[in-house]
């Protein structure tokens, strides 16, 4: 039995944050019913065509769900939504600000009718405050949260290469829903969860915020290097390949000098004998390290780092990750069905294959509409009438 087997989730979701949240609930066995707009559906379906004609974002965030198409501006469709909510455990939405209030599907409207329902609203800035109605996309939240001010290089800010603000909000939606289900088991009551992308990202800003507290200088933009620990980042080897390495303490610094760059006198050099001094003199130390690596291949550098117990990594590209030996050795890949055939999928982190996490198909738009309506008690003629008037 999967942990959330028997839990029913109804969702108005699009793009990444809410779909990522509910996909993880589906991974744990929850039944997730995704309500989409007839004809077009979740707009993330059309971001690209990289997965055998399907969108990469959509395939990633929508496995193991059922898709029903409803035009909720029509009374018949809104009636279907309430029938779905009647025995639902969780309602998740990330529609435009104010949309659920206009439909009478906000928490204040639902809590008395469905007292056990957990309602999770995911938005850019939260349901109140001066930014409540401001549009929010992942890159904009990366900027608003200060993330861009500490990433990239000093002359060129850089966004995260994945949808980090959406992912953060989706994770907080997911964990808060799990906590609310536990709480409901004790109290018998549902709960309102208000997840803000901005707050999720600011939480993840972690040490940079405290590092710059009371008006102190913020961490510098250091590219792929660590802003406040050094050496910690990418270094070029003699064969033109890049090695990533990281030191955490003075014991490792001594080992690095002795066994890796083989200049033991540097471990006590006053320019470099503490982390703050190495950070201050990082340009000079970078020159010394690159010169030491110039006669070595990346593989030889990594061999020395391993022998010295210094943390290191290769700078993999996406093709390298698909073929990663560690993921294959741990049997972390499986497949899921899609409307375009089977595609590979990573097992959810924390789950073993023996746990049988749910890895069901990515649904076609409206694939489950008729089946869900029959389940709710609509006969064939009623379904056809709704289709004729455009309610589904």
φ/ψ (deg, to 5) at 145: -80, -5
Instruction: Summarize pLDDT for 237-258 with one digit per residue, the tens.
Output: 999 999 999 999 999 999 999 9
> What is the pairing mode between strands 242-246 and 232-236?
antiparallel
The whole-angstrom separation of Cα 68 and Cα 352 is: 31
**Rounded to whole angstroms, what are the CA distances from 317 to 7, 185, 240, 311, 324?**
38, 45, 15, 19, 10
Contact 123, 195 (CB under 8 A): yes
pLDDT at position 155 is 82
Q: Determine the number of helices (DSSP H) and then strands (DSSP E) in the chain.
A: 17, 13
The whole-angstrom separation of Cα 81 and Cα 94 is: 16
Contact 332, 359 (CB under 8 A): no
Give the mean model confidence (pLDDT) for residues 343-372: 90
Give the closest residue to 287 by CA, choosing from 320, 261, 312: 261
Within 10 angstroms of residue 291's Cβ, the number of other Cβ atoms is 11
Instruction: Summarize pLDDT for 189-217 with one digit per residue, the tens.
Output: 999 999 999 999 999 998 899 999 999 98
Instruction: Summarize pLDDT for 122-134 with one digit per residue, the tens.
Output: 999 999 999 999 9
Q: Where are the beta strands (DSSP E) in 176-256?
A: 191-196, 232-236, 242-246
Residue 354: both structure tokens together: 């023996």
Q: Where are the domains of the chain?
A: 8-204+328-389, 232-315
Residue that is written with structure tokens 């997730």 in the block: 32
Give the closest residue to 142 by CA, choosing from 166, 119, 108: 166
Judged against a pLDDT cut of 80, whether residue 351 lies above it is answered with no
Q: Where does the pLDDT of residue 353 fall: very low under 50, low under 70, confident under 90, or very high at 90 and above? A: low
Exposed (0-12), middle (13-18) or buried (19+): which is 229, by Cβ within 10 Å?
middle
Name residue 192's beta-bridge partners.
119
Residue 383: both structure tokens together: 């379904």
- Fold classification of 232-315 (topology level): formyl-coa transferase, domain 3 (3.30.1540)
Active site residues: 226
Query: pTM of the predicted model, to two decimals?
Result: 0.90
Instruction: Summarize pLDDT for 32-45 with one digit per residue, the tens.
Output: 999 999 999 999 99
Q: What is the CATH number of domain 8-204+328-389?
A: 3.40.50.10540
Please name the helix (run of DSSP H) or strand (run of DSSP E) that holds residue 237, with its range, or none: none
pLDDT at position 251 is 96
């Amino acid at each position: 039995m999967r942990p959330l087997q028997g839990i029913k989730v109804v969702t108005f979701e699009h793009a990444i944050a809410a779909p990522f949240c509910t996909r993880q609930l589906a991974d744990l066995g929850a039944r997730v019913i995704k309500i989409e707009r007839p004809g077009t559906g979740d707009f993330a379906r059309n971001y690209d065509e990289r997965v055998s004609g399907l969108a990469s974002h959509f395939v990633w965030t929508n496995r193991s769900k059922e898709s029903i198409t409803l035009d909720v501006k029509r009374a018949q469709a809104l009636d279907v939504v309430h029938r779905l909510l009647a025995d639902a455990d969780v309602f998740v939405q990330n529609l435009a600000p104010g949309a659920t209030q206009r439909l009478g599907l906000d928490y204040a409207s639902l809590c008395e009718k469905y007292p056990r329902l957990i309602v999770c609203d995911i938005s850019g800035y939260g349901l109140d405050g001066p930014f409540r109605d401001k549009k929010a996309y992942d890159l904009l939240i990366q900027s608003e949260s200060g993330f861009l001010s500490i990433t990239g290089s000093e002359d060129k800010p850089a966004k995260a290469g994945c949808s980090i603000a959406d992912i953060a909000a989706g994770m907080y939606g997911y964990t808060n829903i799990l906590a609310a289900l536990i709480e409901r088991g004790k109290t018998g009551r549902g709960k309102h969860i208000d997840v803000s992308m901005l707050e999720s990202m600011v939480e993840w800003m972690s040490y940079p915020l405290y590092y710059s507290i009371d008006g102190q200088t913020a961490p510098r933009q250091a590219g792929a290097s660590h802003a406040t620990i050094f050496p910690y980042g990418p270094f070029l080897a003699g064969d033109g390949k890049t090695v990533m390495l990281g030191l955490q303490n003075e014991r490792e610094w001594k080992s690095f000098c002795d066994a890796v760059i083989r200049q033991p006198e540097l471990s006590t050099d006053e320019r470099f004998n503490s982390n703050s001094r190495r950070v201050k003199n990082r340009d000079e130390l970078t020159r010394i390290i690159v010169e030491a690596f110039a006669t070595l291949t990346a593989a030889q550098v990594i061999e020395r780092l391993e022998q010295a117990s210094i943390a290191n990594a290769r700078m993999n590209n996406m093709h390298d990750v698909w073929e990663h030996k560690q993921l294959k050795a741990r049997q972390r890949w499986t497949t899921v069905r899609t409307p375009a055939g089977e595609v590979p999928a990573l097992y959810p982190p924390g789950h073993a294959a023996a746990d049988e996490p749910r890895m069901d198909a990515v649904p076609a738009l409206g694939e489950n509409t008729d089946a869900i309506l029959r389940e709710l008690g609509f006969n064939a003629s009623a379904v056809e009438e709704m289709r004729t008037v455009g309610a589904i």
